[in-house]
Every structure is written in C-alpha cells, then in structure tokens.
C-alpha cells in the first residue's frame, strides 16, 4: 500500500461529479468522540500530551448533557446494522490506550451521570504493566541528562542543549517510530529508555503517573461501571503497510482473545494512531476476518447510514472548549476527506453513496 497523499485524495474526489454539492446535501449524523487520559493537573504538556485537564473535561461533559444524547457504542452499532434512525444529537464517548486515570477520574464521573463509554486497550501493556513507547521516547529525550544522543535505531543524532531542541528531537523520533515496523519501533523505545538511569526512570514514572496504564483488575472495575472494552492491538502496533501481514493478524487475534478471556465477546477495535495511512488494506481485511464488528479510526467525520463499520470516523474531543463545540457542530466539513479514505479501502463503494 502506498501511503496517503493529497494527490490520491484529489484523485478520489474527482471521481465524483458535483461531489461538494452532494456532501452538503447529506444530513448530519452522530459523532464518535475520542479521548485518552484526563488528569487534575497537566504540568508538562509535551510529555503529558495525551491527557486533558479535568475542568475542561467536566465542561465538555456538561455541554454534551445539555445539547447531546450520549449513547453506547453497542447502540450506535445497532442503529447502523438495523437501519434505525441516526440522530445528529447522538454522541459516543471513547478513550484510547487504557490510562489508569480512566479508572480514577473518567469512570466514576461518567457512571455517576449514567453516561456510557468505551475503552480501547493494548493488551500486552495491560498484561505486563508497561507504558507506551511514545511515552518513553518523549520522557527520555526531554529529561535525559545527556546533551547529545545518538540513536542507532534511527541513524540519527540529536542535540539536546535546549528544551526546544529536546521537543523537536522527541517529535522526530516519535514520527520515525510510528512509521517503523514493530521490531524497529521497539528498538527505538529501548534505546531511548537506555538514555535514563534506573533511578531517573523511577522518578519520572512517579512524576508522570498520568501515563501509567491499567491492569486487568482495573479494567474489570471499569467494566463494572458500564464501560465497553475494545482492542487497541496487542502491542499498540500501528497497522500501516510497513508491518508484515502476519504481524497485523497477530495483533488483532491476540488482543481480541486476551480481552475475551477476561470480559467475554470483544467486538470493537480502535486502530492505533488511526489515520488513513495507519490502516493498511491487510489490516482492514483482517479486522473483518477476525470478526470485529466495528473498527474505529481517527479520521474526522460524522456517522451516516453509509458509514462502513470497519472504518468509523471519530473526532478528537480533547481540544479547547470553543474548538470542541465548533467541531461537534461542524463535523460535516470533514466528510469529503472521510469519503476519500473509504474509497481507497473500498474501491467501487461510490455507487452506495449515490444511491
Ligand atoms: Zn493509542
């Protein structure tokens, strides 16, 4: 699979005549929001990139209770599968990665309000109490005492003499790791961890407790609060075309089996990273073959009766309050990009849209 580019997007769009007019005619549908962690205090927004502040989250939840109808992922699936009416007021709440603060903060808050939610976990990290590779890359490059770092796994050296330089280095290494096959991504993570002494690792993990992931017992408590648990792959492996076919299938089957061992049927998948270039044709086909009934992306858009359940659009919820309200009310502007993504993975699907 070639990676996504704008030429491809334009090409796909040009296959529709009057596409823009058509998009405007489509009625707005439900929105699936995605979050990661929620913390009382975020004191390093680079390391704690994936955590939003509790006051902002509470404000967003208050908005949703007033203006929207929060439904479960199961109910959304039933609506699509049975052709039931989709309502633009409907919103689904999802949380990726399985941070411990989902149990401490999110679960109690949402269950007290009787709002359903879904959590997507990387099963090896849950099993072994590990943190994600991207956390280690960020924390190591921002906090190592070394002033230069040579990472053989990326063939690059980085000058770490300023905070700006450290942030840029972390950003570049994260991007390389995200595009790499899993074994190389793990080498990069290990090499980054090696830049810290064991004492520093312990101190930083304590300081950034936000990035600790749940264990199976923690997840069980969230299930008791009404959470639906879905797969986020076994190793948080990004299912792009640089992964082998076997690896992609292993990620899906092992994570599904592990979740089912603890909580019964696992029917939902959130593709790690989840952009168009993070979902290969092999991944899309494998998700269907192992019988996930929904695959959730991070491609922005709203849900319609034409939405492919293995290519569900989601909107990032963790934004400034004003932007959050804007995105919720203007999500249809993303539909062109979403339909282009769908076209690439489902050639010949255009007739469905025009019907
Ligand atoms: Zn993730």
Query: Per-residue pLDDT for the chain (355 aa), expressed as one digit of tens each?
Result: 334 444 444 434 433 333 333 333 444 789 999 999 999 999 999 999 999 999 999 999 999 999 999 999 999 999 999 999 999 899 999 999 999 999 999 999 999 999 999 999 999 999 999 999 999 999 999 999 999 999 999 999 999 999 999 999 999 999 999 999 999 999 999 999 999 999 999 999 999 999 999 999 999 999 999 999 999 999 999 999 999 999 999 999 999 999 999 999 999 999 999 998 999 999 999 999 999 999 999 998 889 888 999 999 999 987 788 888 888 876 554 555 666 666 666 655 443 332 2
Name the strand (E) or helix (H) holding 13.
helix 6-14
Sequence-ordered strand ranges (E) for the chain: 31-35, 37-39, 51-53, 69-70, 90-97, 117-121, 148-151, 156-159, 227-231, 268-270, 294-296, 315-316
The domain segmentation of the chain, as residue ranges, is 38-129+213-345, 133-207
Question: Domain 38-129+213-345 falls in which CATH fold?
Answer: TIM Barrel (3.20.20)
What is the CA(21)–ligand 1 centre distance, in A? 35
Q: What is the pLDDT of residue 312?
A: 95
Strand 37-39 and strand 294-296: the pairing is: unpaired
What is the CA(273)–ligand 1 centre distance, in A? 6
What is the CA(153)–ligand 1 centre distance, in A? 22
Q: What is the pLDDT of residue 338?
A: 61
**Closest C-alpha to 275, from 335, 341, 348:** 341
What is the CA(351)–ligand 1 centre distance, in A? 33
What is the CA(170)–ligand 1 centre distance, in A? 17
Q: What is the pLDDT of residue 149?
A: 96
What's this model's pTM, rounded to 2 decimal places? 0.87
Task: Tell me which residue has tokens 């990387």.
Answer: 122
What is the CA(336)–ligand 1 centre distance, in A? 25
What is the CA(19)–ligand 1 centre distance, in A? 33
What is the CA(110)–ligand 1 centre distance, in A? 21
Region for residue 260 given its phi and psi (left: phi exceeds 0; alpha: psi -120 to 50; beta: otherwise): alpha
What is the CA(146)–ligand 1 centre distance, in A? 29
Q: How far apart, in whole angstroms, are the C-alpha atoms of residue 146 and residue 144?
A: 5
Residues with beta carbon < 5 A to ion ligand 1? 96-97, 272
């Amino acid at each position: 699979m070639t990676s996504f580019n704008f030429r491809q997007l334009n090409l796909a769009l040009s296959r529709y005549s009057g596409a823009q007019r058509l998009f405007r005619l489509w009625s707005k549908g439900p929105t699936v929001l995605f979050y990661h962690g929620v913390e009382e205090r975020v004191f390093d927004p680079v390391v704690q990139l994936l955590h939003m502040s509790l006051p902002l989250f509470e404000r967003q939840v208050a908005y949703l209770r007033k203006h929207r109808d929060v439904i479960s992922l199961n109910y959304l699936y039933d609506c699509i599968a049975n052709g039931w009416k989709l309502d633009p007021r409907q919103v689904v709440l999802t949380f990726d990665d399985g941070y411990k603060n989902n149990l401490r903060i999110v679960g109690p808050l949402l269950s007290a309000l009787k709002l359903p939610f879904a959590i997507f976990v990387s099963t090896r990290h849950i099993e072994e109490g590990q943190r994600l590779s991207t956390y280690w890359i960020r924390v190591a490059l921002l906090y190592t005492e070394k002033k230069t770092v040579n990472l053989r796994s990326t063939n690059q050296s980085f000058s770490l003499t300023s905070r700006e330089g450290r942030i840029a280095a972390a950003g570049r290494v994260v991007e390389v790791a995200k595009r790499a096959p899993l074994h190389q991504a793990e080498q990069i993570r290990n090499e980054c961890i090696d830049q810290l002494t064991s004492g520093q690792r312990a101190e930083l993990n304590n300081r950034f407790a936000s990035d600790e992931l749940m264990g199976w017992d923690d997840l069980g408590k969230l299930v008791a609060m009404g959470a639906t648990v879905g797969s986020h792959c076994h190793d948080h492996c990004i299912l792009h075309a640089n992964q082998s076919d076997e690896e992609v299938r292993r990620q899906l089957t092992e994570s599904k089996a592990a979740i089912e061992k603890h909580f019964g049927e696992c029917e939902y998948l959130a593709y790690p990273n989840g952009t168009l270039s993070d979902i290969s044709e092999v991944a899309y086909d494998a998700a269907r073959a192992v019988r996930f009934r929904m695959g959730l992306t991070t491609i922005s858009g709203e849900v319609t009766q034409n939405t492919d359940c293995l290519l569900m659009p989601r909107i990032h919820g963790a934004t400034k309050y004003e932007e959050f309200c804007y995105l919720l009310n203007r999500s249809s502007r993303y539909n062109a990009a979403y339909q282009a993504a769908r076209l690439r993975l489902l050639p010949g699907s255009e007739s469905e849209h025009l019907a």
